[in-house]
Amino acid sequence: MEKKEERKVKVQVRNLTKYYGKLLVLDNISFNVYDGEFLCVVGPTGCGKTTFLNILSGLIPATSGGIYIDGEPASPYKHNISYVFQLPSCIPWRTVLDNIKFGLEIKGMPKDEIEKRVEKIIKLIGLKDFLNYYPKQLSTSMQQRVAIARAFVTDPDLLLMDEPYGQFDVKLRIYLEDELLRIWEKLKKTVIFVTHNLEEAVYLAERILVLTQKPTHIRSEVNVDLPHPRKVTDPEFVKIRTQITELVKWW
């Protein structure tokens, strides 16, 4: 990975504000995300993390403020933005292979390019033996891996992840997180990963944004300068985790 200071800014969020009727949810949020960065956003339940991701992905509009990718307003027509949801979102009538291809087919990519990209992602994620399975034949964790493969294969400018591992036990979670980090390190994609699991945030992130309760703004930013893979029982890890826990104690 390039040194952080040498990375250019990939995503700019400027004065992002969202009202639902009279309820102010997101309050004038501004921050940058660097090219290829793994950024975690932590916040209390109900603070608007999912609203935040929905605005970033273009699914709902902001009330005011904007998001810029490579200096231009973020647009699904111009930019590739992938979104992995909390619960598996595989298309049930498509096989694993056809699920992964889906985004590329929508973009009208030529067949041989699709084959090439899909092969590349399958090498990175353990789905080789399951390509002809249907989602309902797989465990929930396997389905999530399909969703993640599908998200990365489109070569996204920005990959949004909304607590995709929330329901899994810790050992399985660490296995999946290690896999995610391997893919991220290889493909060098920009990731915004939302969670309220502080240990998970410290395990994954290069940088963590801590949000407040509604009306939500950024409380702090913490850099995590530990090499991957990290160990949750290491004193350095525990130190950072305790620091973040103090920051959210008042949630």
Task: Give the interface with other proteins as residue ranges (CB under 8 A).
Answer: 44-45, 126, 139, 141-142, 167-172, 175, 195-198, 232-233, 238, 241-242, 248, 251
Instruction: Please enumerate in sequence order all residues whose Cβ is within 8 A of that of 118, keeping only pairs 6 or more positions apart, or say none.
Output: 97, 100, 101, 104, 153
Nearest to other proteins of 89, 197 (CB atom): 197
Q: 170-187 and 140-153 helices cross at what angle (nearest 10)?
A: 10
What is the nearest approach in angstroms of other proteins to the Cβ of residue 146? 12
Q: How far apart are the first and last CA of the chain?
A: 34
Nearest to other proteins of 158, 209 (CB atom): 209
What is the nearest approach in angstroms of other proteins to the Cβ of residue 121? 17
What is the nearest approach in angstroms of other proteins to the Cβ of residue 151? 19
Nearest to other proteins of 139, 220 (CB atom): 139
State both tokens at 140.
Answer: 């929930």
Nearest to other proteins of 142, 226 (CB atom): 142
What is the nearest approach in angstroms of other proteins to the Cβ of residue 237? 10
How far apart CA 53 and CA 95 sit, in angstroms, is: 27
Nearest to other proteins of 190, 195 (CB atom): 195
Q: Which of 39, 85, 58 is nearest to 210 (CA)?
A: 39
In which residue are the tokens 């896999």 written?
A: 179
Nearest to other proteins of 28, 197 (CB atom): 197
What is the nearest approach in angstroms of other proteins to the Cβ of residue 172? 4
In order of 8, 34, 135, 148, the CA distances from 4 in angstroms are 9, 8, 38, 25
What is the nearest approach in angstroms of other proteins to the Cβ of residue 74? 28
Q: Which of 99, 17, 103, 23 is nearest to 62 (CA)?
A: 17
How far apart CA 228 and CA 205 sit, in angstroms, is: 10
